[in-house]
A and B are shown apart, each in its own frame.
Chain A
């Protein structure tokens, strides 16, 4: 298994370099260092000299990929790409364009992002799997029919509607929780309740339908018939046998997103005023802060690769037939 993991890590390197190159290329095509300087320095009383000084100060006056004027390895290292992107491979994300340390910001903001994403994920998974099992249990009855209708209705509604509707109904009309905000300590739960509830409800429709399909496929198999023939109650059939055997497709979709929970949610964080990584990314895009966007894309790629590896590992846990040895 170790050899497999090492091999996967080795494959990940060119992927990360590729992602880095594409991000770098795309950003510099639409956003030159001059543009960045102007965004940061504002529009009032900005002189060309100030722009040149800003670029020189941050190393944006160097060539993009190759520096013919630099001696030795400086040919490659004294370039914008190396200084701004290659360093991320050793965990050095540098500073945002406003001078603030990116790694520190990421660490600070990870907590609020996780505070929303983790309960939403766990609760959402529990609710949707339970509902899907319930619909499977009542398959071909009116409960199943109306359950599916409800799921289709829920998945047809935009995520933004859930947020605005939830804020209007629960916070504004019923005054049960704050509309937005974030607080640490014992007060944290009252800010998390609504975004978590909205996150769970908005995911019910699509996930429940997906899991129901998986369970329905499993429920027709021979081992289920055997289990029933043994006289097992239906709950035991569903929870002990069907759920276990349906784990591989479930894990395929679920485990891969676990590492990405760190990245936060762009929309939810923005509307609820959660100071997480989602709103950090949005702010950076709006401010054209290349340093932050680049760091977030890189971290996203790393986490996605980690998620894929975790998914592979999780298969071995739920299905003994899957092994990494040749």
Chain B
């Protein structure tokens, strides 16, 4: 009774009222975890919680090309092939295909050639892909049919779409079996002029007839209204043919073994014609009802909520065909518990909720509270998460270990480098100021000297918290042709001492620079200082210290480095025009093959001359000849044995010519909670959600323990309010009652 009276008296004051309201609201609306950002109804459900930072731009498989997007597209679409989840090196296995296709090689006259025919004699390669029967699409209104078997939503207009805002607003949905036609339809979509598929230019050179189809479609689209539908079935594609309901054949120009990797990407996933037709109806695009927003696939998950501003939700596709968890992997996978779910039907998680977190601090804190199941490590939280011991090994901190958090590390299939533009007379040695052959040799020595002087190990230690390994060549670990140990070092920059690669001394670099005609960084004849210009897109706070460090590295050779910061677009323009001297770039692998890295230095890819990806405009006849041979070879079997020495020879040329200062291959550090199972770093496969498993009970238990609200501050705030208001109220009362004197 006394307590009640106290409460009543307390809420007479505004502060007390406020505190009372807050308290009652909390008590009425919350369970034990007040800070739970998810609806109470989701507690105990088999849901994976994750976050995304950048909103995906495209979910259309003809357009989508970035990692942010593949987090979603990889789970929804099913190309014919996929990567084995556990095996390394990465191995292609069938997804919807019955088996990994073996190419047939044909001569120009259509004659069948033996499998070991040299690439130069192969006119066409043919891949015949047979899709498994009985695979069905996710439920979707595009497949809905009426009693007469006719499509329900094939003749919609703006009026009919009134009240329809999301795909779920359509009352009917349907499904149908996946056929070879769907794959053919999607390959044609790569040439659609309004989709701007990033791989069209490249594939047009490979798939027979795709270029011509692109021109045909372009002409047809010119007269089409903005929201008009281009019926791709009316335009045949010579190089892609339907064999039967479940089989199709793709004909390529020449030999291109890497094509199999492309068959594991969403670009070659099926798109049903009905869906394309459905989304092209008037009024659909205005409501963001597009294939780019609501994908349609046969994969383990379907996108049921797409609000890329806030959250995206993938839910189990009820029509997903049977697939089981793999039973084979690397030798250490069994010990890591990665084979515990062998043979279980996939997917193992019912739903995945991806929330948008633009800032790293809330992302990290929510992970620590258990509201995200996994997280990367930003530089802000690095020290809190891991520490490097004396030997350079990475360990979780005590706090992380107490929470049962696990650390997964892997070297990414990426490379970062500082390139020299070889069209530049000073660093390329060509042109009027380049002094001919002698000039080229001197420029090469200059590049070699710079390669030695820039201490990549120090860079990785200072600026990347040790999250990377110094690059010896363009090839990162895990890619065929990469060698560990002494055989793999870059002999121009490193020497093998005491069982490990040691960077050559700065004196060696100075000697090379002197041989290049720049003793102590000054022109041997004129005494002019050597000035090099670095073009970069940097300019932020972190970039300043990086660039200062880099300037000091050049200064060790007496070279003056001028940093020319510019925005992204200007930088790209300069690269395109060959108007840079030094630049920084990186490359993420499309697929795990050395060709996907070495092509970056192929003469045929010169950026200034041919608009390709070789920003250094490096052109070496020897390297190009080797690259032309090795690029069409396979990495397995007898061809692999033949290919390896060619790769090593090509890399040797690059190391000697030093068109790049080989920088580093980044390491990815991922943290996962104890309740998240079956996670294995995977850099090229993107359909990994279906393999993961969550121990929901464990998550609930830990979340509950970690998130008990601390209530005393509320009382303290209320007391503070009273402490401020009470004297004021008393003073007011005293003043009002005071008599005039």
Contacts and interface: CB of A to CB of B under 8 A. Distances in A.
Interface of A: 30-32, 34-35, 38-50, 53-54, 57, 95, 98-101, 104, 108-109, 112, 134, 137-138, 141, 143, 164, 167-183, 186-187, 189-191, 233-235, 270-273, 275, 279-280, 283, 288
B569 A39 contact: yes
B34 A143 contact: no
Given A49-B201, A138-B728, A270 B359 contact: yes
Nearest to A164: B361
B728 A50 contact: no
A286 to B, nearest CB: 9
B402 interface: no
Contacts of B727: 143
B356 A175 contact: no
B366 A45 contact: no
A156 B202 CA distance: 57
A148 B573 CA distance: 55
B65 A104 contact: no
Contacts of B710: 173-176
Given A179-B35, A273-B357, A104 B198 contact: no
Main secondary structure of the interface of A (DSSP, over half): helix
12 contacts: A35-B569, A42-B66, A46-B198, A47-B201, A101-B288, A175-B710, A178-B37, A190-B34, A191-B37, A271-B361, A273-B362, A275-B309
Residue in B30, B358, B365, B613 with the greatest tally of chain A CB atoms within 10 Å: B358
Contacts of B58: 98
B529 interface: no
A44 B357 contact: no
A171 B200 CA distance: 48
A95 B286 CA distance: 9
B285 A44 contact: no
A19 B693 CA distance: 54
Contacts of A235: 732
Given A174-B710, A178-B37, A288-B569, 20 more contacts: A34-B569, A41-B196, A44-B613, A53-B193, A54-B196, A57-B194, A104-B286, A108-B309, A109-B309, A112-B310, A141-B731, A167-B365, A175-B710, A177-B34, A179-B35, A179-B362, A181-B355, A234-B735, A273-B359, A280-B309
B287 A43 contact: no
A279 B286 contact: no
Nearest to B203: A45
Nearest to B55: A283
Nearest to A49: B201
A272 B355 CA distance: 12
Contacts of B611: 47-48
B731 A50 contact: no
A171 B713 contact: no
Contact of B288 (A38, A104, A186): A104
A275 B310 contact: yes
Given A45-B613, A49-B201, A189-B25, A100 B288 contact: yes
B708 interface: yes
Interface string B586-615: 000010000000000000000000010100
The 4 closest A-B pairs by CB, nearest first: A275-B309, A35-B569, A178-B37, A180-B362
Given A98-B57, A270-B359, A143 B569 contact: no
Contact of A233 (B39, B286, B709, B736): B736
Contacts of A283: 55
Contacts, number: 159
Contacts of B371: 178
A174 B33 CA distance: 11
Contacts of A53: 193, 196, 218
B341 interface: no
A175 B196 contact: no
B120 interface: no
B37 A180 contact: yes
Contacts of B26: 176
A44 B65 contact: yes
B499 interface: no
B714 interface: yes
B30 A101 contact: no
Interface in B188-225: 193-194, 196, 198-202, 218
B65 A101 contact: no
Interface string B19-34: 0000001100110011
B624 interface: no
A49 B55 CA distance: 27
Interface in B351-380: 355-359, 361-362, 365-366, 368-369, 371
Contacts of B728: 134, 138, 143
A138 B731 contact: yes
Given A38-B572, A43-B572, A190 B30 contact: yes
Contact of B709 (A54, A143, A174): A174
B207 to A, nearest CB: 15
Interface string B707-741: 11110011000000000000110011001100000
B451 interface: no
Contacts of B274: none
A130 to B, nearest CB: 9
B553 interface: no
Contacts of A189: 25, 29
Contacts of A50: 196, 198, 200-201
Nearest to B197: A50
B290 interface: yes
A143 B369 CA distance: 41
B26 to A, nearest CB: 7
A123 B79 CA distance: 54
B741 to A, nearest CB: 15
Interface string B33-72: 1111101000000000000000101100000011000000
